[in-house]
Amino acid sequence: MALRWYSVVVDCRDPRALAAWWAQVLGWMTVFEADDEVVIVPQHFADEGYFTRVPPRERGQGLVFVPVPEGKTVKNRLHIDLAPEADDDQDAEVQRLLDAGARRVDVGQGPDVTWVVLADPEGNEFCVLSPRDL
């Protein structure tokens, strides 16, 4: 028997606002919203017949946002890596994220890395990698 990766859960103060931010950044959609949980998934989940055509183990994961009373205080132990498509501009994507409310953060990455470390509006770190196909 094997397990499948189902979702990533993000603790936050304002699940609706943070889920909306990530949905905008990723071009995803909200599929469930309640006081204690907001779920966003890739747009292709809404494609006709997606769930009958794509086996569960081959489906992508969603992001689930849940409320917690405390704010973020230390560096994430787990983070999301985002990658522009091979022909896209990493700097332009970083600027788009900054314009949307992200901020640059230093987690000790040094000046010679090929990725950019940012934080979402609640301080959760994530990286924007160099463009790639895979």
Mean pLDDT along residues 31-47: 94
40 CB contacts (<8 Å, ≥6 apart)?
19, 22, 23, 26, 28, 29, 30, 31, 62, 63, 65
pLDDT band at 58 (very low <50, low <70, confident <90, very high): confident
Quote the CA–CA distance of 63 and 23 in Å, as a whole number: 9
Task: Output the CA angle 54-55-60, nearest 5 degrees.
Answer: 70
Is residue 1 pLDDT above 70, yes or no? no
129 touches 93 (CB < 8 A): no
Q: Could you give the domains of the chain?
A: 1-70 (3.30.720.120), 78-134 (3.10.180.10)
- Residue 109: what pLDDT? 93
- What pTM, to 2 d.p., does this model score? 0.91
Is residue 36 pLDDT above 70, yes or no? yes
